[in-house]
Amino acid sequence: MRLSFACFLLLFATVSSVNGPYRNFINQHINGGMLENRCDQVIGSRGITVADSNRCKETNTFIRATTNHITRICVSAGEPYGVLTKSLQPFDIVICRLRNQGASRPHCQYRGQSRTRRIAIRCEGGLPVHYGGDIVYFDN
């Protein structure tokens, strides 16, 4: 019985250690209905800043997709890209760039741009945990 409980605790600790970064990834980068003119509102309401500070992020990218579509990149819809995994298909994204450099929350002001790009993410335990960037692709 003790061995089973110990295994359960180990499994729970492993899932919890990935679950935090996965939830953070969802908060910072997934928004299926994101619009170019909503960067200020969405970034503000989600509390997205430079890690461990109140400083506005220079750039934040939102992927217009569901968590299931993004998670599939880690499992079957991606290919190795250095330490990251690159999506096999392009995604609609909104790139929010800071307009007022050096600002701190709640005074972040962004300009949004829509793009269609393949994306590169870092996966842990079959879940996306870090947005590595977008990749310009050429459809032949």
* pLDDT at residue 136, as a whole number: 81
Is omega for the bond preceding 106 within 30 degrees of 0, making it cis? yes
Q: Is the pLDDT score of 67 beyond 70? A: yes
State residue 14's pLDDT score.
Answer: 43
90 by Cβ neighbours in 10 Å (0-12 / 13-18 / 19+) ranks as middle
Task: Name the residue ranges covered by the structural domains of the chain.
Answer: 2-135
- For a pLDDT cut of 70, what percent of the chain falls above it? 84
Q: Does the pLDDT value for residue 6 go beyond 70?
A: no
- Could you tell me the CA-to-CA distances from 106 to 39, 48, 74, 84, 100 in Å, in that order? 13, 10, 34, 32, 12
Q: Which amino acid is at 80?
A: P
DSSP 8-class letter at 37? G
- pLDDT of 138 reads 65
* pTM of the predicted model as reported, rounded to 2 decimal places: 0.84
As annotated, the active-site residues are 29, 130
Residue 78 pLDDT exceeds 80? yes
State which fold the 2-135 domain adopts.
P-30 Protein (3.10.130)
Query: How far apart (Å, rounded) are the C-alpha atoms in residues 93 and 118?
Result: 9
Does position 129 have pLDDT exceeding 80, yes or no? yes
Tokens coding 94:
């909104």
- The answer to whether 64 and 32 are in contact (CB under 8 A) is yes
